[in-house]
Homo-oligomer: A and B are copies of this chain.
Amino acid sequence: MLKLRRLGIDTYQEAVIYMNRNCHVCRSEGFAAQSRVSVMLGAQHIIATVHIVSPELLRDDEASLSEGAWRTLQAQEGSGIEVSHPDPLDSLRALRAKVYGQRVDLPAWREIIADVVAGHYSDLHLAALVTACAGDRLDLAETIGLTRAMLEAGERLDWNRPLVVDKHCVGGLPGNRTTPIVVAIVAAAGLTIPKTSSRAITSPAGTADTMEVLAPVDLSVDQMRRVVEQEGGCIVWGGNVRLSPADDLLIRVERPLDFDSEGQLVASVLSKKIAAGSTHILIDMPVGPTAKVRSADAAQVLGDRLESVATALGVHVSVYVSDGTQPVGRGMGPALEARDVLAVLRREQDAPPDLRERALALAAEVLEFSASIARGEGLPLARRILESGDAMRKFEAICQAQGGLREPPRAPLTRMVEAASAGECVAIDSRRIARIAKLAGAPVAPAAGVELHARLGQRFDKGAPLYTVHAQAPGELEYALNYATRQRDVIRLEDR
């Protein structure tokens, strides 16, 4: 038994235990720096990585935990813990087989995902899993197995209604923050849309990051249920409700690795939507040279895979292929995107028209999942709900139910980037624009990002504003501008 002392070291989600090198447990068990150990506190249990500290920081009968591990174990100053060798992980056999190119079946996926959710995998194992599934390395049967295992590993909501709708964007297109608008319209029309969203993985903002600057999103399952019962819809962070908790853990290593995986994308999207109780799901799939999906053929392949896996799991998926040749809306970054969303919902004169029309088109498709809304009636209905102010009222009610609507913050530092020469805008590199927004601090700094002034086909004079970088810290502003000035043709102008 060792006594806990809080050193207050924050390692984000990586569980670390700090022990003195002379500690009797280290000596008798043979633990050294980077050993993986099992830590028990009462009935709670985690696997952590050992870091060894000098006797000035901890006595030899003491140990400490990283802040995340401290919270997970609900530790108190002076709590007694037991530290021991962890059981060998049987699921590593299946992971190893996948790494060597063999296929993983459902029982093996269940073993792997159970160990991931229990926190038994080190970051190295998580990275190996993500790498082994990258690209097109999962076939249809494996993707169905992974989706089912991820679904089973978390909670699953049941709304006791025949039609529960949802929408999801496969991403890769900055801005394009249609979700809050679509949810408001669809809920205002009386449908049920229990929307859970993710935080950014590799983009400047996820829907949850954007929504968080407008209202609390870290609701529990019970809180989420009350919001949806009351208002017909919600926009909450999926990580807190533990629908498909494996996904949240995988995202932590996917983010720095930045690999695409078709199978993992499908499993991630569908496991979350099905766990949220959805029966009909619309997938917005933007296609463009710098979007995630780059061609009509690729959209077809991914769309087919989504539909096949959905069918195998007993839900309906429709794919809406949209224009992904340029960002949608003006803002990229949580607060900047939230401003665009509010402008559309508030029917402001200078609200971005592309974002409004995209959101209406998607809302129309979702509305038409309802048997009582005929093909072709969705779009005029969506427009009526938006223009009457019903959508804004519903959005306010949802925000209120989630904890209260707030105004997005503004960044203290901005810098405009101007056209180096005159010309017509012929291409916008979504990836590099998104990178600039991330270097400026998004999404961790919520007011940071990029405000885009250019659209394809527009003419610019030399010196006209192309985009504005927003930042909360001088170092980040400089870092983003350094990158931006080194790039050619992030926004390409041609003299026509």
Are B28 and A128 in contact (CB-based, < 8 A)? no
Are A57 and B127 in contact (CB-based, < 8 A)? no
Interface bracket on A = 35 or more
Are B51 and A9 in contact (CB-based, < 8 A)? yes
Report if A57-B8 is in contact (Cβ < 8 Å); known contacts: A27-B473, A30-B444.
Answer: yes
Check A11 for interface membership: any CB of B closer than 8 A: yes
CB A199 to nearest CB in B, in angstroms, measures 14
Are A8 and B257 in contact (CB-based, < 8 A)? no
Report if A122-B256 is in contact (Cβ < 8 Å); known contacts: A11-B51, A51-B11, A101-B135.
Answer: yes
A131 contact set on B, CB distance < 8 A: 99, 127-128, 131-132
Are B32 and A444 in contact (CB-based, < 8 A)? yes
A159 contact set on B, CB distance < 8 A: none
Per the bound structure, the CA–CA distance linking A483 and B468 in Å amounts to: 62
Check A441 for interface membership: any CB of B closer than 8 A: yes
Partner of A9, one of B52, B122, B123: B52
Per the bound structure, the CA–CA distance linking A11 and B131 in Å amounts to: 25
Per the bound structure, the CA–CA distance linking A91 and B136 in Å amounts to: 22
Per the bound structure, the CA–CA distance linking A349 and B473 in Å amounts to: 75
Are B476 and A10 in contact (CB-based, < 8 A)? no
Are A259 and B12 in contact (CB-based, < 8 A)? no
CB contact list, A354-368 vs B, under 8 A: none
Report if A8-B127 is in contact (Cβ < 8 Å); known contacts: A30-B475, A475-B29.
Answer: no
Per the bound structure, the CA–CA distance linking A315 and B32 in Å amounts to: 40
Check A21 for interface membership: any CB of B closer than 8 A: yes
- 1/0 contact string of A1-23 vs chain B (CB within 8 Å): 00000011111101000100100
CB contact list, A154-208 vs B, under 8 A: none
Check A436 for interface membership: any CB of B closer than 8 A: no
| A253 to B, closest residue via Cβ | B124
Report if A7-B128 is in contact (Cβ < 8 Å); known contacts: A101-B135, A473-B27, A476-B29.
Answer: no
| A479 to B, closest residue via Cβ | B85
Per the bound structure, the CA–CA distance linking A125 and B125 in Å amounts to: 12
CB contact list, A30-71 vs B, under 8 A: 30, 32-34, 36, 51-54, 56-57, 66
A476 contact set on B, CB distance < 8 A: 28-30
A135 contact set on B, CB distance < 8 A: 99-101
Partner of A10, one of B52, B92, B260: B52
Are B27 and A128 in contact (CB-based, < 8 A)? no
Check A415 for interface membership: any CB of B closer than 8 A: no
Are A124 and B52 in contact (CB-based, < 8 A)? no
CB contact list, A444-496 vs B, under 8 A: 444-445, 472-476, 479
A253 contact set on B, CB distance < 8 A: 124
| A254 to B, closest residue via Cβ | B124
Per the bound structure, the CA–CA distance linking A85 and B473 in Å amounts to: 13
Per the bound structure, the CA–CA distance linking A472 and B260 in Å amounts to: 47
CB A83 to nearest CB in B, in angstroms, measures 10
Per the bound structure, the CA–CA distance linking A361 and B479 in Å amounts to: 62
Are A34 and B12 in contact (CB-based, < 8 A)? yes
Report if A257-B101 is in contact (Cβ < 8 Å); known contacts: A8-B57, A34-B11, A54-B7.
Answer: no
A-B complex: 8 closest residue pairs judged by Cβ atoms: A8-B54, A127-B127, A29-B475, A100-B135, A28-B475, A10-B52, A131-B131, A12-B33
A-B contact pairs, 26 of them (CB 8 A): A8-B53, A8-B54, A9-B53, A10-B51, A10-B52, A11-B51, A12-B33, A28-B473, A28-B475, A29-B479, A30-B445, A30-B473, A36-B256, A51-B66, A100-B260, A123-B123, A123-B124, A123-B127, A125-B127, A125-B256, A127-B127, A127-B128, A128-B131, A128-B257, A128-B259, A131-B132
